[in-house]
Structures are given as structure tokens and as C-alpha cells.
A and B are shown apart, each in its own frame.
Chain A
Amino acid sequence: MEGESIYEVDSGDGLGADIISTVEFNHTGELLATGDKGGRVVIFQREPESKNEPYSQGEYNVYSTFQSHEPEFDYLKSLEIEEKINKIKWLPQQNAAHSLLSTNDKTIKLWKITERDKRPEGYNLKDEEGKLKDLSTVTSLQVPVLKPMDLMVEVTPRRIFANGHTYHVNSISVNSDCETYMSADDLRINLWHLAITDRSFNIVDIKPANMEDLTEVITASEFHPHHCNLFVYSSSKGSLRLCDMRASALCDKHSKLYEEPEDPSNRSFFSEIISSVSDVKFSHSGRYMLTRDYLTVKVWDLNMETKPVETYQVHDYLRSKLCSLYENDCIFDKFECAWNGSDSVIMTGAYNNFFRMFDRNTKRDVTLEASRESSKPRAILKPRRVCVGGKRRKDDISVDSLDFTKKILHTAWHPTENIIAIAATNNLYIFQDKVNSEMH
């Protein structure tokens, strides 16, 4: 993979760059949206391929920036509601405008992004600056004409879906019917219609009658890419539940439960915590699901509930460090995972600004680093290695010198091409594979 571009998401308020909290390509890959801790959304657009250099693909440049969410205060509970953007999901494009959903802990917003590259000129009542003309000077009528202007990108909030969640929203997912979407918090999942903001349907509710009995929460959820009645949600106990909305209005009873039995030899007090699923993603084909827990990524076949079909170790060398990681809270980090366009490669982030890719066909994997030093434009990324005692090669990093503050939680893969977006704290890295479309 080649290092392509690095963007520092700057808050612009003199306080320096802000931490990126979500990254998402749109359905064509032309646009890339990032959300940050300050409630801002930055959209990048890919420049069209230049005719002069037929082999050079377009770069991503800033297209639009807007403030999506503001901090709020819940007076009843005396608690702040963070403006951090937890998730962004693009709607499939239906006309010239682009639309996306962005959410913080409590409120989901639908934004419409439009371009304006022409403006009317030749008004009868107003002059060029917009001041009203003296009517006595108007002797004839003219028809205003549209003249080209510098491209202006306008972003407007079209819908605000508020008051739907008591707990913190962790995921949103647009249905394949393009009319509805769901939002999930720790205990409930709601179904919304994109055009209706004052009403939503609760489709999953795992809140126990007594909060004392609470032992499991919802960690992520997603609609099936093709079947508009199916969705999956993951839990903090490491299970996945596939639900069918045709079965009942309240989908508390799952259609399928995907759970791998615990390995007794690996059992420890941290077993449950590391089994908590932090992200779930359907494959593009809709046949598989990808889950991420603390130490592994797993591929599940929708037809097999008893165990995943593939398991990949992301950073097994951390298994002996779980106590320290529990102590410094790193064990609760929620990493995301991603499929490539053909579902042949999966990717996820790790610590020390490392991210990992696994080729499902060749079973080969690679560890790469997102850092300024290794990512000059056109620089080729060098595979990294973490050594666990024993022989140490040059350039290897030892487990003890890993920087646990540099975590890559959010990654995204272009829907069709080998372009990936990696969020490393407050920097966005975009890497392209220009030579091959396959992993080598």
C-alpha cells in the first residue's frame, strides 16, 4: 500500500486538532466523511482522475466542513451530553444532493449536502450587490440568467431525530429500503422512518425490569445489506443476534443466536470483557458477518450459529497483559473492523498506530503503521512486526514498547477500490494500492 494523504482534522479554534471519532465512505467512494470529538463533520471528495496521468488516481481533498452537533446539558440528570460524533452513515444517493446521518450519544441528524455552482444574475428589483434599485431607474424588464460561479457546498440539517434514546447511541444503520434506518443504544434499538422525526418504533429492548439484573448491553448493530427485514446486533457477552422484523414488532426473540462456546483453557477473569464484540459488519455479499472483539476478528457464516468460520488473531501478544490493560482501561477500547469491496480482505486497527489486514483466501496477514514518518506521499508502507521476546529482528517493536495511547479504532475501506481511510487520533490517513488490486 502506498501512503497517499494525511489530513489533520483541525478544530480551528486554536486548541489544535480534534480526535476523529468516525470515518465512512459513501456508496460510490467518491466522498469520505469524518466525525470528530468536537461535533464537527469533515467531508473529503475524491478528485476525478486526471487525463494527463491515466494511472494516477484521484486524491481526496476537503469538500465541506460543518458543525453537526453541539454540546448539550441534560438538566434533569445534571450531565453533559457530548457532541462527539459516534457514527456517520451515508444514504444512497437519489438525486444531485448527498445525504448523511450523523449521531452523537442522543440525537441523530439528517444532513443534505448540495452544490451550487451557478447563481442568478440580472434581477430587476435588486442590483449586483443586492441593494434595492430605485424603481424610477428601471426602464425595461429582463429575465435573470444563471451564470457560473465558484463551487459552493451547502450543508443543511433536514431532519433531527431527537429524544429517541435514554442511553448512549452506539450505532446507526440505513436499511436497504432507503426509507428507514435504525439506531441502537446500550439497551434498545429504534426503527425510524427517514421522513418522520417525532416517532420511532422500538424493535429491541433488553433492559431488565430491575437494573440490578443488568449484565449485558448492546454494543453494535447493522441492517442486512440486501434483506430489509433482517438486522444483527452484538452484545457485551460476545454474542450476535440476527433478528427478523417480519416475525414480530418487538424483536426481543432472535431468529438466530451466534455464539462461540468459551475455551476453558483460556479462561480468566477477563474472558468476558475480551469477548465483548465492539463492531459487527455484514459482508457486501450479505452472506457473512465480521465481528471484532478485543483480541480477534471473526468471520461468521449466517448459516452457522455455533462458531465462526474464521478467526484471526489481531494482537494475541496482549493476552498476557490483560491485567495491565484492564487497569489502564485499554481493555475497554472499541475497535472497528472493515471488509474490502470483494469481501476477500478484512482490516482492523490496533495499538501503536498499527492496523492489520487479513487476506481470507491466502490466509496471509500484514501489520502496517499509520505515522507521518512512514507516510510521505507515494511512500510505500513497510510491514511491521511485533516481537514477543525471543529473537528480535531489526525494526521489530517489542510488546513493552507499544504505545497504547496511539490506537486506531476507526478504519474504512472504499466500497470498490483498494483505498483505505485510517483515523489515528487526530490524523486521517488515506492509503491507496496503486499497483495491484489484490493484496500482495
Chain B
Amino acid sequence: MFLTSVVPQWPFYNLDTMFVRGLKRKCIDGEEDIEGTLAGIKAIPSYNLQRQSLLDMSLVKLQLCHMLVEPNLCRSVLIANTVRQIQEEMTQDGTWQMINTQSTGQTSLDRLVSTDILCRSSREQAEGKQVPGYSNFNKDFEDDQTQDSSETMSTASSVQAPRNLQSNVWEMENAQENRGNFQKSLDQIFETLENKSPNSVEDLFSEVDNSYYDLDTMLTGMMSNTKMGHCDGLETFSSPTTTTSNSNCKSDLNELDHIVEILVES
């Protein structure tokens, strides 16, 4: 489950720094690996690890957004496209398939300790706080994944799959690679998310009114309420509408003031 709520108080920058520090090393080192492999030379463990890092980084990026201001849609779309690309390649590789056939049981439960930070975030998640526009996008993204993955495999729900994929890959790599700070912190994120059983995740969503998620519906509702001026094509011709009177009034008032000022003075 990639995201339920994003938490204003969550000092994500701390996590980010840890995250970034570890990642940076791996990223710069592995940069050539990625491009090398795309040219056809695959050093399997390293390439997969790098690709996985990129996937994880992208997912975290989609989660960590500015709370107060609406997130940049262009950035979100580009990151989501990158994630899709990686997952497509993983599907073609058979990595996705392979991971999924492994036991879905266990994983990293024993080696991870949830920090206070993560506890706070999961509590917030339980409260079901949401940023509507943003969460909608990610929910859509999750739905998209459901579509993709159901076509390629018949196994557990997609909600489970990516999480398991990540944790299982980590497990696979564990024997060969050293654990860096990065691994731990990333695992912690997914560990916390993983702790929630699928049912509870769905419950989380069910608590919140689903219609609220639908940006489109919401905005349509808003539009019809405020009688927005812009509609498709020629329809506007027949129905001149008013905007929220405030802004219009203000500008009119200013003009009026100006005129009155002149009149009064002379």
C-alpha cells in the first residue's frame, strides 16, 4: 500500500536525509550500471538492485509531497510514468513474476524496528487523513497497478504484490549485499506499511467517503455550485454565467472608487 495519508507532522526530511545519503552512494555508483545494462550487458544483481532503488525512490517521492499546497501534477505524472516503466521492465524480465511466486509470508518483520516517526505516521494513517486531490491521484495510480498486474499474473492482489516484491527482493539481495542505512530506512517504511493486513488497508479507505476522492466529481460539484464561467466549446455562448461575485465586485468597486474619487475631487 503506497500511501494512505501523508502526514503534515511527519518529519519526513529526517527520513529523507537518511534515505538520500544511502541512496546517493548507490545511485552514483550504479548510474553507469543502469545505462550499461540497458545497452544489453546485464550484471544481474547490481542492475536489479539499482532498478529497485529507483522504483522505491520514486514511490517515496510520490508519497512525500507538500501538504499545504497542491502537489505539482507534472512532477507526479513524470514520476508515475517512471514507476510504470520500471514495473513494465520488471514484468518482462520475469523479475516480477519470480518474486511473486515466492512465499508471501514473513519477510523483514524480525529485523526491523519501527521508529517513533513511523509510528506517528501509521497512527495518522489510521485516522484516515487525506489530501483529496493528491490521494486521488495515488489511488488512481494504485488502481492502475491493479490493472497492469492482473493482466500478467494470477496471484494475490496488486496491493500486496509490490510490497512483497520489494521486501522479497531485499531478502534475496541480503545474502549478497551489505545492509546500508538506506536499506534499513526503506525497509522501515515498507515494514510499517506491510504490518497492515490488506483488510485493514481497505478498511482505511472505506472509512473515508469515496466520492470525496473523485477529483472529477468534486470539481464538477464545485463548478456547478459556483457556476464557473468556462465550459466546453460553444455551450458557454448560450448561458452567460457569473463567477463568484467577490472578485468581480472587488474590481468593479475599485473602478467605481476611482471614478467617484475623480468626481468628488472636481
User: A residues bordering B, Cβ < 8 Å?
Assistant: 76-82, 105, 107, 120, 123, 126, 144, 156-160, 162-164, 166-168, 186-187, 190, 197-202, 205, 210-217, 219, 236, 249-250, 265, 267-270, 272-273, 276, 320-324, 326-329, 332
- A250→B232 contact, CB < 8 A: yes
A199-B68 CB under 8 A given contacts A236-B77, A323-B28, A327-B20? no
Give Cα A80 to B75, complex, Å: 18
Task: Give chain B residues whose Cβ lies under 8 Å from the Cβ of A168.
Answer: 70, 72-73
- A217→B77 contact, CB < 8 A: yes
A198-B229 CB under 8 A given contacts A162-B247, A332-B72? yes
Most chain A CB within a 10 A radius of its CB, from B31, B51, B86, B254: B31
Contacting chain A: which of B120-128, B191-199, B212-220?
B212-220
Q: Which 4 A-B pairs have the closest CB atoms?
A: A212-B140, A323-B27, A249-B233, A186-B73
Chain B contact residues, majority secondary structure: helix
Task: Give chain B residues whose Cβ lies under 8 Å from the Cβ of A200.
Answer: 229-230, 236
Of B34, B38, B77, which is within 8 A of A215 by CB? Answer: B77
Among residues of A, the one whose C-beta sits closest to the C-beta of B82 is: A269
Would you call B42 an interface residue if the criterion is a C-beta within 8 Å of the partner chain's C-beta atoms?
no
How far does the Cβ of B255 sit from chain A's closest Cβ, in whole Å?
Answer: 7
Give Cα A197 to B243, complex, Å: 8
Task: Give chain A residues whose Cβ lies under 8 Å from the Cβ of B250.
Answer: 157, 160
Task: Give chain B residues whose Cβ lies under 8 Å from the Cβ of A80.
Answer: 68-69
Give Cα A199 to B177, complex, Å: 61
Would you call B119 an interface residue if the criterion is a C-beta within 8 Å of the partner chain's C-beta atoms?
no
A321-B31 CB under 8 A given contacts A79-B133, A202-B232, A268-B38? yes
User: B residues bordering A, Cβ < 8 Å?
Assistant: 20, 23-24, 27-28, 30-32, 34-35, 38-39, 51, 54, 57, 61, 68-70, 72-75, 77-78, 80-82, 85-86, 131-133, 136-137, 140-141, 143-144, 147, 215-216, 218-219, 222, 226, 228-234, 236, 240-244, 247-248, 250-251, 254-255, 258, 265-266
Give Cα A249 to B241, complex, Å: 19
Task: Give chain A residues whose Cβ lies under 8 Å from the Cβ of B222.
Answer: 76
Give Cα A322 to B54, complex, Å: 11
A214-B75 CB under 8 A given contacts A157-B254, A323-B27? no
- A79→B73 contact, CB < 8 A: no
Of B85, B236, B265, which is within 8 A of A120 by CB? Answer: B265
Task: Give chain A residues whose Cβ lies under 8 Å from the Cβ of B241.
Answer: 198-199
Task: Give chain A residues whose Cβ lies under 8 Å from the Cβ of B68.
Answer: 79-80
How far does the Cβ of B214 sit from chain A's closest Cβ, in whole Å?
Answer: 9
- A120→B266 contact, CB < 8 A: yes
Of B39, B82, B265, which is within 8 A of A272 by CB? Answer: B82
Q: What are 29 sample pairs from A and B whose C-beta atoms fall under 8 A apart?
A: A77-B70, A79-B131, A81-B69, A126-B265, A158-B255, A160-B248, A162-B244, A167-B73, A168-B70, A168-B73, A197-B229, A200-B230, A200-B236, A201-B233, A213-B144, A214-B137, A215-B77, A217-B77, A236-B78, A249-B234, A268-B35, A276-B78, A321-B31, A324-B27, A326-B54, A327-B24, A328-B20, A329-B61, A332-B75
Among residues of A, the one whose C-beta sits closest to the C-beta of B29 is: A323
- A327→B137 contact, CB < 8 A: no
How far does the Cβ of A101 sit from chain B's closest Cβ, in whole Å?
Answer: 14
Task: Give chain B residues whose Cβ lies under 8 Å from the Cβ of A267.
Answer: 38
- A211→B215 contact, CB < 8 A: yes
Task: Give chain B residues whose Cβ lies under 8 Å from the Cβ of A186.
Answer: 73-74
